[in-house]
Structure 1
Amino acid sequence: MDSKLLDTADRTRRTILTTVAVGGIGMLAGCLGGDGEGPDPVSLDQGQSCDYCNMRIEMHPGPVGEAFYGGDAPPSLPEDRENGIARFCSSSCTYNYLLENEEQGHEPQIAYGTDYSSVDYELTDDSGTTVISAHLSAEAFAELQDLNFVTNSDVEGAMGSSLIGFTDADDAAAFADEHGGEILTHDDITREVLSGLSA
């Protein structure tokens, strides 16, 4: 066969495969974090409590999260919550809430978590445990599906072992190299992963 025809056929096949792959990723992104369309993140530094465990968010270290349910807010949320926002003191509370409510047919329009690639975080010693700083301003958040999570590292947050998220995959890899753990993406987070987090 003519080499130009082979080259054209190969490019066409690659285009089709790329289109199928991108389409599949788009379908997965619709779960547990919406379709990327929804309200912008808001700061969580006004005395808010976690909608999963009731702890006061600003009193604890580590990654936090929020999800906007709009008109499809789970019944556990107050009816007057603007945009049906649910707020969380940790990444594990975020995902536990999202997964439980997805099983009940409630999926958020959009969900966010702390992006440690966007902040100057600190690690401190808390009675022999290394904890990572909390960042509660709206600018510190990224969509959950954009984060690479370091899990089961030797660094903890509000609820013990945390899912520490980075939009930059190299930042996640460097953190895991220094502090241990494995890297997971948004679509990897399941109930089994959450129950396997070391306390």
Structure 2
Amino acid sequence: CITVAAITIAITPLFANMADPIYQWWRKRTKTKPSNSIPMPQVGFKDHVVIVGYGYMGSFLAEAIPNSTPILIIESHPQRVKKAKEDGYAVIGGNATSTDLLKAADLDKAALLIITIPDPIDSTMVQEAVHTINPKLKVMARARSLEHMKELVKHGCSEALVPEYEASLTMMRDIMILLKVKDVTIDEFIQDVRTKQYSPILVRNSNKKKDS
């Protein structure tokens, strides 16, 4: 078990770093994005939050958003579509990489779009399509790796976080507390590490403020 775990830990970053080259290769050989054959309903929302993916993260975030804010879920898995509807949310069932589907989500009137799907190729395609439809829309995304985060930002993503990386920072903080490191030192260290890793987003947001 230890050997399997060690091998898994070792190869995970390798596959994560391969995501961008694979994506670029795939895009060069694909002239159009996947389409959705199901007629897309016009939801007629305004100032709403669109959540792409209703897995653990998507459902958790939906629950955390205030009830006064309209929420629209985009999900391709039938069981998750059913669950989102049972939870009381408006849902568009289908692949979010479809431009037609995204247009049906009234992105020109949305306040925020959150990408929670884990697949780096699909999430980057969604970001590309969203940026084409409404380049001013604020987008927050789940990134598979730091390299994937940079790719999302390059395509217009406002904020991208790597859940595994954030979890490691939390563990790092807990370890330092157990080792009785001063709180101020811990906070400064964690902030310094986070700032360095998320520098692409900080630079992009800084440039946007200068342009506005």
TM range (shorter): under 0.3
Which protein has greater RCO, CA pairs closer than 8 Å, 6+ apart? Answer: 1
TM-score (norm 2): 0.26
More helix by share: 2
